[in-house]
Amino acid sequence: MPTRIEEVKNFSVEAVTQSITRSLFAIGGGAIAPSDIPLLASKVAAWITSGPKRRDGQLRNIDFEHDFMRAQHMGPAAHSLIKLLCDVFAWRCREKGMATTAFLDFLVDPIIHMLAGRREYFNLALKRLLQNPADPTSVIQLMMDGPETERWFDPWAKYLRGLGVNFHASHHLTRLQIDRGKIVGATVKHRNGAAKHVDADYYVLAIPTDRIRDVLTPDICAASPGLRNFNKLYLSPETGFQLFFRDPLPGGLDFLGFNQSINEWYLALIGLSSVWDFDLREYGNGRAQGMISVELNYGALEMYPGDRYGKPMKELSKRQTLQEIRASIIKNHPDGRALFSDGNFAGWRNHPTIEWRNGWSVPDKRTASAPGTLQLYPKQETSIPNLMLASGSTRNSSGGDSMDGAAEAAKRATNAIIEHSGVREHHASLPYYGPPPELKVFQDEDDRRYLRGLPHIFDVVRPAARRTENYPNSR
Ligand SMILES: Cc1cc2nc3c(=O)[nH]c(=O)nc-3n(C[C@H](O)[C@H](O)[C@H](O)COP(=O)(O)OP(=O)(O)OC[C@H]3O[C@@H](n4cnc5c(N)ncnc54)[C@H](O)[C@@H]3O)c2cc1C
């Protein structure tokens, strides 16, 4: 990872290769076959310097693991590393087992933008990382000093209430009424069943793909045909559990994601109690000092059998689920056994996105970043002049449905309202989202090659597929 913008401007493939070799050793990747390093390095170098036309026309439409990285030709250790990246950052779609290469926009570009001073809100984190490059947890600590609910949402809600905003929680939008191309009202239903009519100047929908489909009736879609694209998007369950412990967590559990082997459960663990800046005993029954967040996606939930019971999680009882997670942590983490010894385990609970009714299910899904679908995410401005969209499942620059994507979408929806209504207000400011201009010379050259049907000049070992080669459920 570059630490100064000059290093980006003096980009060289040799530097990328050295950096990859160093990083692999730093993360204990000694098991990675030396013969895989040229392939990894050529891919990283090619991706960083790929042109906008190639990104839009090719990379957004192919699968990261097989079509781009060609991980099927790597040894098991390097292949697992690529899977780990996909599982943590890329929101594969279950049907195809694929994720677009575009998620890299959201991984590497922001670091270069930060170094160039274009992403102000990350600068503090970057300074912290540069002070202590060996300890990335210090950055996580800075960015997550407590639960989002307390640190972000409650103060934000208080601020908005102070400006006169009213929140009507526990109400669900059930219908929008349209007349002569404009929304003329909405029906919302309270949890107790009471329905209410809402009359507004502008309507902003910030609800996920699977829920918005219920509200987009044929008359609404006829007035704004782009909204039909919500039906073409794939969904992906993402969920998890919180595990509580009597004692503070051992040092090595600050942050840990692990992949057991290519087809086993993948669980991402974050030792949140070590990252958060407060004493957990102020919460709940006051007996827990340690807490681990366990996150998982459709692989563990629906596809792959766990070690102990030989079944995916959705087929396990609650007790079996806990046993399987426990066994997985003990097997994969050096401190795992101590964590569960001497009555240290104090309880657990599921994330609100997963429920157990004769088996686990995840009723609300994240929108998957499947190849070829990012272009289908509807724009915030619809063809209906007083209807805007503002969810992470709308067109954004972060490679899919994420918190950053949702924040960008909300700003774009706000700006659309300012423009439509003609009010004299400042627009919400949007950071620069394109590829880093420091690498423009390489990007322009790459786009020229792309238009001539040639692979990226650095993508020499096993060039990326021109279009997806379709590996059904290849995960
Ligand atoms: C376990 C997990 C881990 C994640 N980790 C990360 C991460 O590390 N980084 C990251 O960037 N993203 C992460 N995400 C994804 C991130 O949470 C979403 O991308 C983001 O919340 C999307 O924001 P949104 O406003 O579009 O939707 P949401 O935050 O899902 O909000 C939608 C809201 O709409 C409400 N709603 C639904 N239907 C209706 C209706 N008919 N009427 C009224 N309201 C309705 C829902 O109740 C919900 O409150 C994670 C998601 C999960 C589940």
**Any residues with Cβ below 6 Å from ligand 1, and which?**
172-173, 206-208, 211, 238-240, 295, 351, 353, 366, 391-393, 401-404, 406
- Say how many Å lie between the CA of residue 471 and the centre of ligand 1: 29
Q: Whose CA is nearest to atom 21 of ligand 1?
A: 403
Q: How close is the Cα of 470 to the center of ligand 1, in Å? A: 29
Whether 151 has a pLDDT exceeding 60, the answer reads yes
**If you measure from the C-alpha of residue 297 to the centroid of ligand 1, how many angstroms do you get, rounded to a whole number?**
15
Whether the Cβ atoms of residue 94 and residue 236 lie closer than 8 Å to each other: yes
Q: How many other C-beta atoms can be found within 10 angstroms of the C-beta atom of residue 223?
A: 19
Q: Cβ-count burial of 4 within 10 angstroms (0-12 exposed, 13-18 middle, 19+ buried)? A: exposed
With the CA atoms of 284, 285, 290 and 293 taken in that order, what torsion angle do they form, in degrees rounded to the nearest 10? -40
Residues 189-248 have pLDDT tens digits of 999 999 999 999 999 999 999 999 999 999 999 999 999 999 999 998 999 999 999 999
Nearest CA to ligand 1 atom 12: 402
Q: How far is the CA of 208 from the centre of ligand 1 (A)?
A: 7
* 296 CA → ligand 1 middle, Å: 16
Among 172, 230, 175, 204, CA closest to 384: 204
Ligand 1, pocket-test mutation among 89, 210, 211, most atoms within 8 A of CB? 211
- Give the pairing type, strands 171-179 and 182-190: antiparallel
Confidence of residue 51 (pLDDT cuts 50, 70, 90): very high
303, 305, 306, 271: which is closest to 289 by C-alpha? Answer: 271
Task: Provide the whole-model pTM.
Answer: 0.90
Helices (H) and strands (E) in the chain, counts: 19, 14
Q: Which two tokens stand for residue 220?
A: 């609404």
Most confident of 6-10, 128-132, 183-187, 248-252: 183-187
* CA distances in angstroms from 384 to 190, 208, 220, 224, 380, listed in the order given: 26, 19, 8, 6, 11
Pairwise pLDDT comparison (370 vs 455), residue with the higher score:
455
* Torsion from C-alpha of 349, 352, 356, 361, nearest 10 degrees: -130
